[in-house]
Amino acid sequence: MTQSGDAKLIDMTLSGFFDVVAARVSTPGGGAVAGAAGALAATLARMVAAYSMDKDKQSDQGNPVWPIADRLRQLDEALRKSIDDDAAAYGAYVAVSKDKSGTPEAREKRQQATRQSMGVPMEIAAKSSDVLEALESLVGLGNKWLLSDLEAAAILAEATVRCAGCSVRVNANMLSDSGEASEARSRLDALEQGAKLRLSSILQALNERLKGGA
């Protein structure tokens, strides 16, 4: 839910989503936008996969592209869901933060809300990294006329990992458990480094295909 109404973000028009992001309300924010960017990367990748299979054989599980397309579908669904999940997580954090009593119960509620506000964008980063992994497998199989779309999807997915990381780090900094915070930062660092390497591999493979004219 958003602070501007009861409609789910994922059910809004694109223009409506843009407007609510721009509005002076605390949700949706950067995490939800990262989820939307990741979903766009996945949907664009799905289009490439769809055009890389014969139209009448897209249900053929023996096609080497089929498992890639199915994985992208799963990631797309998860990333779309994350848009509202992130807004809900941050909304819950805002709600518990209004309790200024300083009691142990209030502090624990705030920590739990912080963990959730960190956990959703962490999963956005992880799923976007998985989109890159799927795209890496698709490079050699993708329709040659859609290689620029595959490239765009890969760039967007890698950027999403870093964008989601912004929300992860700011929440990690608010955790009282330094070990938990360090573990979260380490996981994010690994995701970002892996995404960077995968994008580089994809761009190199695409360049080789384009040079070969295949």
Q: What is the pTM of this model?
A: 0.92
User: Does residue 4 carry a pLDDT above 80?
Assistant: no
Residues 69-91 have pLDDT tens digits of: 999 999 999 999 999 999 999 99
User: Does residue 211 carry a pLDDT above 90?
Assistant: no
Q: What is the pLDDT of residue 1?
A: 41
> Collapsing DSSP states into helix, strand and coil, what is residue 101?
coil
Q: Give me 179's structure tokens.
A: 């070990």
User: Does residue 41 carry a pLDDT above 90?
Assistant: yes
User: Does residue 5 carry a pLDDT above 80?
Assistant: no
How would you classify residue 208: left for phi > 0, otherwise alpha for psi between -120 and 50, otherwise beta?
alpha
> Collapsing DSSP states into helix, strand and coil, what is residue 5?
strand
Domains defined for the chain, CATH in brackets: 9-212 (1.20.120.680)
Q: What is the pLDDT of residue 139?
A: 95
User: Does residue 204 carry a pLDDT above 70?
Assistant: yes
Distance, in Å, from the CA atom of 6 to the CA atom of 18, rounded to the nearest integer, reads: 16
Residues 190-202 have pLDDT tens digits of: 999 999 999 999 9
Question: 3-state DSSP helix/strand/coil percent for the chain, to nearest 5?
Answer: 80, 0, 20
Q: How far is CA 78 from CA 60, 84, 197, in A?
A: 23, 11, 23
How would you classify residue 2: left for phi > 0, otherwise alpha for psi between -120 and 50, otherwise beta?
beta
Q: What is the pLDDT of residue 89?
A: 95
